[in-house]
Homo-oligomer: A and B are copies of this chain.
């Protein structure tokens, strides 16, 4: 009955088999390159269910992403191993209390999960030590820095681990890199979540009207994704901002919960994406709540759209992401100059990093099992310590198979504008009166999910972007165009 048809579970299982094979090959290559023998077992610990504070309120479990990438296991409390030499994959299943059958459902034996997830063997968690002993080799555990959160993931741990040789250095960079380059099977899934999310955005655009609460747009989005696409969760908390809220980059959290009224004449900036089987999407649409762009809205929107189109037209293997960020800045600065907000030479502005005043975030980020997928800064690569560029979540050169968001934005943020107007260098370019007219305007962001191909790129997102398309779809016109 749903409008969209998700990938089959057997396709998803195959995808994880492929992900494991890829890791096995990459680990073998790595061990060879550092002169270690082809032996050892990759061991990961899956996530655990959590309760809210001291209560028995069980939070909906979502598997840890590295574990999900390799095994696709939806249940909590698992461990899993891959033997690097042979590729043999093993799941370790928690032994459940008989009460589970009454409260939570049928209790399945390890053989059930072996079949379900397509691994080579499955045992109970309490058999793990004896099973792992047979391999007589080091455990490669996952430990490393997430460069978006600046926090480290925790290596697997279990009673008896002290009896094994452990390595916590080799695995993380290798596994992170596997996730950076998407396979054809992953792409199929990623296309699906983008298809659902794009259609949901269109649904929301058509429902928008002055007087609605922002959360009603959020609810409309979530309902479409779940009802028509089977996506139970979003990749991240929906950002449903209208008016000046659209200048708050991560609006929508508990302290600013999408609860304002969308007013006539305001812009909406909706950053929302569905997740399916752990893989997410990340899409932003900006449009006038009442369906018709004002002249001011048109000026800013056009700058952002030109930036997005310019970047996507250039994306292909070998292109520097930093160059793309700068290209987007240039387009936005040009539009702001046209709008009368800026004066002077755009090249000078770029040299003085003026772009960051209007786009304080990076142009985009890797996307996959996490909204900010890992691998943006592999070992040896580091952030560029310049205004705006420091916010980039990656500075890598594009490669085929990278999925990256292209999300230029232009915002009028008092907390950024006021210091800039006081800054002796930046203020030279700023036309205070014109800028003041945009105070309270909020911002515009356009975000598409784009995969780099062998000779260019493919845009997975399909939302109305041209002003004429946005106005037409909001007036009830068809989408996609046929």
Contacts from A to B (Cβ < 8 Å): 1-2, 47, 49, 51-58, 60-65, 74-76, 98, 101-105, 146, 148-149, 151-154, 211-213, 215-216, 218-220, 222-223, 226-227, 230, 232, 236-237, 245, 248-251, 253-257, 259, 360, 370-372, 413-416
Inter-chain CA distance A2–B53, complex, in Å, is: 32
Contacts of A103 in B (CB 8 A): 248-250
Once A47-B53, A219-B223, A254-B60 are accepted as A-B contacts, the answer to whether A1 and B212 lie under 8 Å apart by CB is yes
Contacts of A1 in B (CB 8 A): 211-213, 216
Pairwise interchain contact B248-A104, C-beta atoms closer than 8 A: yes
Pairwise interchain contact A57-B2, C-beta atoms closer than 8 A: no
Pairwise interchain contact A74-B149, C-beta atoms closer than 8 A: no
**Known pairs A54-B154, A56-B148. 19 more at Cβ < 8 A?**
A1-B212, A2-B213, A47-B53, A55-B65, A55-B146, A57-B370, A58-B236, A61-B255, A74-B257, A75-B254, A98-B415, A102-B249, A104-B253, A104-B256, A213-B230, A215-B226, A216-B226, A219-B222, A219-B227
Inter-chain CA distance A372–B256, complex, in Å, is: 28
> Can you report 19 A-B residue pairs in the complex whose CB atoms are below 8 A from each other?
A47-B53, A49-B254, A51-B151, A52-B65, A54-B149, A54-B152, A56-B149, A57-B236, A57-B371, A58-B250, A75-B255, A101-B413, A103-B248, A103-B249, A104-B248, A104-B255, A105-B248, A216-B226, A220-B227
Contacts of A245 in B (CB 8 A): 105
Contacts of A232 in B (CB 8 A): 215, 257
Query: How close is A238's CB to chain B, nearest CB, in angstroms?
Result: 10
Contacts of A222 in B (CB 8 A): 219, 222-223, 226
Q: Which of A47, A60, A62, A416 has the most CB of B within 10 A?
A: A60
**Which residue in chain B gives the minimum CB-CB distance to A56?**
B149
Contacts of A153 in B (CB 8 A): 53-54
Inter-chain CA distance A227–B227, complex, in Å, is: 15
**Which residue in chain B gives the minimum CB-CB distance to A419?**
B98
Inter-chain CA distance A148–B158, complex, in Å, is: 28
Contacts of A370 in B (CB 8 A): 55, 57
Contacts of A236 in B (CB 8 A): 57-58
Contacts of A98 in B (CB 8 A): 415
Contacts of A57 in B (CB 8 A): 236, 370-372
**Which residue in chain B gives the minimum CB-CB distance to A51?**
B149
Inter-chain CA distance A222–B223, complex, in Å, is: 8
Contacts of A226 in B (CB 8 A): 215-216, 218-219, 222
Pairwise interchain contact B257-A101, C-beta atoms closer than 8 A: no
Closest 5 CB pairs of A and B: A101-B415, A54-B153, A223-B223, A56-B149, A61-B254
Contacts of A74 in B (CB 8 A): 254-255, 257
Contacts of A255 in B (CB 8 A): 61, 74-76, 104-105
Pairwise interchain contact B146-A54, C-beta atoms closer than 8 A: yes
Contacts of A148 in B (CB 8 A): 55-56
**Which residue in chain B gives the minimum CB-CB distance to A280?**
B57
Inter-chain CA distance A74–B255, complex, in Å, is: 6
**Which residue in chain B gives the minimum CB-CB distance to A98?**
B415
Pairwise interchain contact B54-A237, C-beta atoms closer than 8 A: no
Contacts of A76 in B (CB 8 A): 254-255
Contacts of A250 in B (CB 8 A): 58, 103-104
